Amino acid sequence: MDVGHLKEEGYNLNMARYTGPRARVCRRLEFPVFESPKFGNPRKNYPPGQHGNSRRRKLSNYGIQLREKQRIKYLYGLLEKQFRNYFKKSQKKDGPTGENLLIMLESRLDNTIFRLGFAPTRRSARQLVSHKHFLVNNRVVNIPSFQLKEGDFVTVRDKSKKMEIFQDSLRKIQGDNPMPWLGIDKAKLQGSFLSSPQRDEIVEPINEQLVVELYSK
């Protein structure tokens, strides 16, 4: 597989909202970058295309690093410019750059709403935030990339609580601690950002060090 072919075959890698064939991208990146179970286990374990199975090529180190970056970009729904800005900010923080990067991405409002179970996917969480369905500390926030900090709480607006997507989410939420760094009050449709996540609490099998190596060239 050659990650560079993503561009050649019509994938706009700079799009935060990918609208093309998602199963195809999952196969290209060999990773379930979209949260729906429909795309979590692609039926074919080789890249798409007429010769995907017969002409599979071994990735170079650069290709592996680039693929990991694309996985993270698609997973969190980032533009290329956004990703670069996050990386630059993570370099300025104390501690490992790669860990800082993931913690910043996990602290986004849209990601937190997804982690709380208030939206089935990060993509739908972005749309709900943009349409002003959430409060942060009792104020409307419609910026999906808004960075939460320790002690912040996120609430579904009263006028939105009866929407089917939130009622359906309530039925599916299991337990009272969706992620170790979050708390949830299902009765109020409210979540709490208790602390910044620790690296070992982030469940996706991401190797952020590959991205650090990519940008260090």
pLDDT number for residue 110:
97
Q: Specify the CATH class of 108-195 in words.
A: alpha beta
| CA angle centred on 123, ends 29 and 30, rounded to 5° | 10
What global pTM score does this model have?
0.78
What is the spatial distance between Cα 100 and Cα 31, in angstroms, rounded to a whole number? Answer: 22
pLDDT at 35: 54
Length of the chain: 217
Q: End-to-end alpha-carbon separation of the chain, Å?
A: 22
d(CA 28, CA 23): 9
Mean pLDDT for each consecutive 10-residue tract of the chain (217 residues)? 38 44 51 49 50 64 91 91 96 96 97 95 95 98 97 97 92 79 94 96 92 90
pLDDT given for residue 170 in this prediction = 84
Torsion, Cα 173 179 180 186, to 10 degrees, reads -30
How many angstroms separate the CA atoms of 174 and 124, rounded?
19
**Assigned fold of 5-95+205-215:** Ribosomal Protein S4 Delta 41; Chain A, domain 1 (1.10.1050)
Q: Where in the chain is the domain with CATH 1.10.1050.10?
A: 5-95+205-215
